[in-house]
Structure 1
Amino acid sequence: MSDAQKAIEYAHQNRERFSRELTEFIRIESVSTDDEYKPQVLKAAEWAADHLRKIGIENVALMPTGGHPVVYGDWLKRPGAPTVLIYGHYDVQPVDPIELWETSPFEATVKGDYLFGRGTSDMKGQVMATLNAVESIMKTGDFPVNLKFMLEGEEEIGSMNMGNFLPKHKDLFKADFCLNPDAGAISADEPTITFGLRGLAYFEVHVYGPTRDLHSGLFGGTVHNPAQALAELIAGMHDSNGTITLPGFYDSVRPVTDQEREATAKLPTTPESYLKQTEVPALWGEKEYTPALRTGARPTLEVNGLLSGWTGPGSKTVLPAKAMAKISCRLVPDQDPIEVHKQLVRYMEEHAPKTVTWEVKNLHDSPWAITDVNTNGVRAMAAAMETIWGKPPLYRREGGSIGVVAMLQNICGVESGLVGGGLPDDNVHSPNERMHLPTWHKNMDAFIHFFFNMK
């Protein structure tokens, strides 16, 4: 029996315990967006650190960041062997709206092949799959490569302190490859490697009219309603094809190559699959690109929230004093979030009516990232997936953003392999988040093969 097979046998024998430990982890309400949960976020960091020590990882420490700590650990006993950095995050999204949950969000509940609970898929389940693979090798033989760990507590709030933290510790986190299971698969039957992530630029656009809410019967038709002005401005940010109209928005966008079009065409993400997942009556967007390219390789501008006037029950006939929209742009190579901010301001300067005043607040940004699929780490993972699934993985560019991937690439020079057991219907960031247990177990087995393939 090979060393990998011994480790896989250990993993299979300990599946029940692995599930119990994941349940313990999920019970910790580590919501990073709310200061009320700060003690729970710290508790999750301490739980993760204790678990690393338990499976044999050394030099485990909680490193301060200015916010929630980074959990570090290492195992560096193979001179000359590659070093793999394992990334994960222990923070989770809020559970609101709580009334839509069918199970208690922090009580991991098994229903059929799924484990329900906040953080099951994003990403406590993925963290534990990786740690379980490490333990399985540790307990059955010699680990084939060196290891470092970076488990952060602020991914769900944009890794807001990592930009200052990483440059101070860039040598500590240098590695030959980063295994990042904070992605997912296209389906349970299609192993997937994500090699590209879009960046993010997040704004608030505020439009101001009168100094106070006015009576709409006395002033309507004479004073320009800020809500109407904002709605018209937002509507003008796309043309009839769904193309973004901010001046210069596409100037630096790297064109989609024929090779990318061919690779994307192999994905099972058809227009019909998008309709099924979203249950919308029809799709929308740039007609010259497929839906898969629109969500992975093209930039976007989306309205994430609107606020103005009276929104409570019943009627109140006011002309609101102000209106606000939260707007996010997903960015692709080679867009710069700072430039996109300037483009949004320029759009407002050119189109906002003189009847209102306005401001654009730049709240947050995150860079895009592209990984070379020919690196040893990506090839090692691809071979591992093919061993377990019996087919080569699919490759895709993902529409979401994981800020630390670009930071590791730009600051530490470390390429990341984005994988994981998350599936499109896992309800990530929504009520009734869940994880597909058979895929979770398959990923553990694949991670075991990955580590042996890296040696």
Structure 2
Amino acid sequence: MDFRELDRLNRRDLLRGTAMLGAGAAFMQPLPLLAQAGSMSDVRKAVEAGKDASIKRLRDWIALPSIAAENRNMTEGAAYMAELAKDAGFTNVEIVPTDGHPGVFGTIDVGAKRTLGIYFMYDVKQYDPAEWSSPPLEGKMVDRPGFGQSIMGRGAVNQKGPEATFLAALHAIRAAGRKLPVNIVLVCEGEEEIGSPHFRQIATKPNILAALKKCEGIFIPMPGQDSSGNVAVNLGSKGIIELELVASGEKWGRGPKKDVHSSLKAMVDSPAWRLVQALQTLVTKDGNTPAIEGWFENVRPLTEREKTLIREAAKADNDEAQMKQALGVTHWIDNLSYDDALIRLAQEPTVNIEGLVAGYTGPGGKTVLPGRAVAKLDLRLVPNQTRAEAEKKLRAHLDKHGFTDVEVNVSGGYDPTEVDEKSSLIRSELATYKKLGVNASLNARMAGSWPGATFTAPPVSIPAGHFGIGHGSGAHAPDEYYLIDSTNPKVAGLVDATMGYAEFLYTLAAIK
């Protein structure tokens, strides 16, 4: 999931822009007591009885890494996802081919009045075992101070842990002898970690599109609790384009077609410097603001209400120093105040360099003049920008500035997402959190990205968001983990997180 969690830090703490609902709830009963006191005791007993099976299901899933960027285990990953769906009660399960890696689709139709969509991804990010304190595919139990016993492995929190927990809720409801209160449509892809380049093909397949259009909304499971037990309800997220800019002697017609000795720089042009010059035109001199012609033409600024939400959250949380320490920074961009920096985080589109690759990058020096240089970029988009518009403007900008030879290789991306807080999906999320005793907040716009626009835009046109309690961290990073047995009374472990999804299904079915 491209929430771009920064080095094992809690996503909510980094991408916030929120105002607390029900502030003042400084202390909560442990979540197990709340769940046991409700009308779901039979489901809870089934969840507890199935806990070991739920852990094994997640551990086995972690052991099968499907990595789209490496074309690793993609066929096997889709087949495994399909079996997980069937085992949880989905019917009409199909592996959906695309021009890239396949997706998975399935439904549960119990004749209910309402239908809920669920978005899954079965792919995970790359990993280097040498950077991990525990083997990334073994799913070992480790202690995370302040949280409790957690399962560690690639995909543990992004996204197999929360997804397996939602499946556990379906298993438990069936084991309790209950009928699901809503119909469910499952749509899953295997390319989220490379920008979902073919996901639209899945969502708009005629039978899948017809099923999605019946949904009240769709959500991706997310363990959203921080150490205080708080969660954020996202009202949107930025879009993204992932791409490479490539400068080469071959395309340029100047400089070498392959690496040559660096002494020749006195008489030979450098594709690496060519790329640097092209990059410098994309942003202002300080690198902080996109300078691509027309980039801000369709940008929708935050409303005054959205800005107020962010300022109130900054004032209430009062954790600027902690956030700076966690990020390893001493100043915000342009020396902005904390709340202005948070507004900028939510409001501004960005042009970011993820990596630069050219010539020799190993130990010591190697006197070469590279024949090819590559910059890996991500461009974050805000409403009302679109991926198609942004790609067109980037190409036109480079051409206008004389860089017609610099290649733009887009690997994936999608538009920004927005959801109405008055939708039954968002109201059900807030009502469920309230029922569980979890302090919820409205997040004006998440600075990270996910392909929710595939659902919110035509032809699907349904609300899309995130929901879930529990905790995990380390997405895209070493030592990724997902909380199983919580020692923090304000944060849900596996059993309570499973109950959270069960409660949500019943809440959605009853919401007015």
Using the size of structure 1 for normalisation, the TM-score is 0.88
* 2:333 matched residue in structure 1: 284
Deviations 1:53-86 (CA, angstroms, capped at 9, x unpaired): xxx333333333344433333222234x111112
Identity %: 24
Unaligned runs of 5+ in 1: none
Return the offset for 1:259: 1.0
Greater CA deviation, 375-384 or 263-272? Answer: 263-272
Return the offset for 1:270: 4.8
SS of the residue 2:379 aligns to: strand
SS of the residue 1:231 aligns to: helix
2: distance between equivalents of 1:61 and 1:275?
46
1: distance between equivalents of 2:350 and 2:498?
34
Equivalent position amino acid for 1:163 in 2: R
Q: Structure 2 vs 1, CA of residues 297 and 129 (structure 1 numbering), >3 Å: closer, same or farther?
A: farther
2: distance between equivalents of 1:174 and 1:357?
43
Q: Structure 2 vs 1, CA of residues 92 and 357 (structure 1 numbering), >3 Å: closer, same or farther?
A: closer
Q: Structure 2 vs 1, CA of residues 362 and 94 (structure 1 numbering), >3 Å: closer, same or farther?
A: closer
Q: Structure 2 vs 1, CA of residues 48 and 158 (structure 1 numbering), >3 Å: closer, same or farther?
A: farther
For the pair 1:45 / 2:62, whether they are aligned, the reply is no
Q: Structure 2 vs 1, CA of residues 383 and 153 (structure 1 numbering), >3 Å: closer, same or farther?
A: same
Equivalent position amino acid for 1:192 in 2: A
Return the offset for 1:330: 0.5
* 2:362 matched residue in structure 1: 312
* 1:167 matched residue in structure 2: 204
* 2:106 matched residue in structure 1: 73
Aligned-residue CA RMSD in angstroms? Answer: 2.7
* 1:244 matched residue in structure 2: 290
Deviations 1:364-386 (CA, angstroms, capped at 9, x unpaired): 33111101111112111111112
Deviations 1:64-113 (CA, angstroms, capped at 9, x unpaired): 3344433333222234x111112211221122x22101111111111122
Q: Structure 2 vs 1, CA of residues 344 and 186 (structure 1 numbering), >3 Å: closer, same or farther?
A: farther
For the pair 1:329 / 2:379, whether they are aligned, the reply is yes
- What is the 5 A alignment of 1:119-198? 119-140=155-176, 141-169=178-206, 170-185=209-224, 187-188=226-227, 189-198=229-238
* 2:246 matched residue in structure 1: 206
2: distance between equivalents of 1:64 and 1:343?
31
Return the offset for 1:440: 4.6
* 2:33 matched residue in structure 1: none
Q: Structure 2 vs 1, CA of residues 166 and 158 (structure 1 numbering), >3 Å: closer, same or farther?
A: same
Unaligned runs of 5+ in 2: 1-36, 249-253, 487-491
SS of the residue 1:24 aligns to: helix
For the pair 1:365 / 2:416, whether they are aligned, the reply is no
Using the size of structure 2 for normalisation, the TM-score is 0.79
SS of the residue 1:122 aligns to: helix
1: distance between equivalents of 2:318 and 2:79?
39
Q: Structure 2 vs 1, CA of residues 269 and 285 (structure 1 numbering), >3 Å: closer, same or farther?
A: farther
- What is the 5 A alignment of 1:388-399? 388-399=436-447
* 1:414 matched residue in structure 2: 462
Q: Structure 2 vs 1, CA of residues 158 and 61 (structure 1 numbering), >3 Å: closer, same or farther?
A: same
Aligned length: 445
For the pair 1:257 / 2:303, whether they are aligned, the reply is yes
Return the offset for 1:29: 2.2
Q: For the Cα contact (< 8 Å) 2:116–2:182, is it kept in 1? A: yes
Deviations 1:338-369 (CA, angstroms, capped at 9, x unpaired): 2222332333234458xx94333333331111
Return the offset for 1:406: 1.1
Q: Structure 2 vs 1, CA of residues 166 and 375 (structure 1 numbering), >3 Å: closer, same or farther?
A: same
For the pair 1:233 / 2:265, whether they are aligned, the reply is no
